[in-house]
Amino acid sequence: MFNTILLPTDGSDLSDKATATAVEFAKLHRAKIVSITVIQPLPLASMGDGGAVIDSGQFAVKMQEAARAYIDKVAAAARAADIPFEGVISVSHTPYEEIVEAAKKFDCDLIMMASHGHKGINKLLLGSQTDKVLAHTTLPVLVLR
């Protein structure tokens, strides 16, 4: 029934748990896992003259290294279970759009993603990529907590 599962990951403990669930699910369905990590570009411009200065080039390098580590962790879990795997690293201010587009591009039949379950002000400030994916895809979405 499910041939290709899209698994967004952010490297959190919750994403690691979702990876374990996705691997078991993929084994049951003999499905491929496509994992995506979306890097959000540096949101603030560097400040000069006494303000904090952030090296945007170094920030980008560190974010790419972290994203590669997240994808490599999912790849290792898939490889250990003998599951076909493909990893994607994307850069966008709107991660949910990248997730929805990756599901289309890789012809996924299911999106499995962790939800951090932010409530109140944290949800308002951090937003919910899971809620946005649910609102912008026609695919089934399995939300894991």
Render pLDDT for 55-84 as a digit per residue (tens, 0 to 9): 778 888 999 999 999 999 999 999 999 999
Q: How many domains does the chain have?
A: 1
The secondary structure element, H or E, covering residue 119 is none
* CATH number, residue 16: 3.40.50.620
Q: Which residues contact 131 (CB under 8 A, 6 or more apart)?
A: none
Predicted confidence at residue 41, as pLDDT, reads 87
Share of the chain above pLDDT 70, in %: 84
Average pLDDT along the chain: 88
Q: Which residue has the higher pLDDT, 33 or 40?
A: 33
Which structural domain, as residue segments, surrounds residue 104?
4-144
Predicted confidence at residue 126, as pLDDT, reads 46
Residue closest to 33 by CA, chosen among 9, 64, 10, 69: 9
Predicted confidence at residue 18, as pLDDT, reads 95
DSSP 38: E
Predicted confidence at residue 49, as pLDDT, reads 55
- Is pLDDT at 50 greater than 50 in this prediction? yes
Q: What is the pLDDT of residues 86-100, one digit of tens each?
A: 999 999 999 999 999
